[in-house]
Amino acid sequence: MNLLPEDAKKIEIDGSTVDFFEYKQDGLIHYYFDTSDRGAPEPMVNAMAGLQLLGGDKKLIMINHKPPMGLFPRIQQNYNYEIIELEDGRHKVIFTHKEGSTPNVDFSANTCAG
What is the band of 44 on the pLDDT scale with cuts at 50, 70, 90? very high
In a domain, 113, yes or no: no
In a domain, 106, yes or no: no
Cα angle: 92, vertex 93, 97; to 5 degrees: 150
In a domain, 76, yes or no: yes
* CATH at 16: 3.30.110
Is the entire prediction scored with pTM above 0.95? no
With beta carbons less than 8 A apart as the criterion, state whether 45 and 15 touch.
Answer: yes
In this predicted model, what pLDDT tens digit does every residue of 69-99 receive, in sequence order? Answer: 999 999 999 999 999 999 999 999 999 999 8
Task: Please count the structural domains in the chain.
Answer: 1
Q: Is 60 exceeded by the pLDDT of residue 60?
A: yes
Phi, psi of 43 (to 5 degrees): -60, -45
In a domain, 89, yes or no: yes
In a domain, 39, yes or no: yes
Summarize the chain as % helix, strand, coil (round to 5).
10, 30, 55
In this predicted model, what pLDDT tens digit does every residue of 2-43 receive, in sequence order? Answer: 789 999 999 999 999 999 999 999 999 999 999 999 999 999
**pLDDT at position 114, please?**
47
Alpha-helical (H) ranges within the chain are: 42-51, 72-75
With beta carbons less than 8 A apart as the criterion, state whether 76 and 103 touch.
Answer: no
Alpha-carbon separation of residue 96 from 33, 78, 90 (angstroms)? 15, 9, 20
- Identify the domain containing residue 29 by its residue range: 9-97
**pLDDT at position 70, please?**
92
In a domain, 71, yes or no: yes
In a domain, 4, yes or no: no
In a domain, 111, yes or no: no
With beta carbons less than 8 A apart as the criterion, state whether 45 and 60 touch.
Answer: no
Rounding to the nearest 10 degrees, give the CA dihedral for residues 28, 29, 35, 37.
80
Q: What percent of the chain has pLDDT over 90?
A: 81
Higher pLDDT, 1 or 80: 80
CA torsion through residues 6, 52, 68, 38, sign: positive
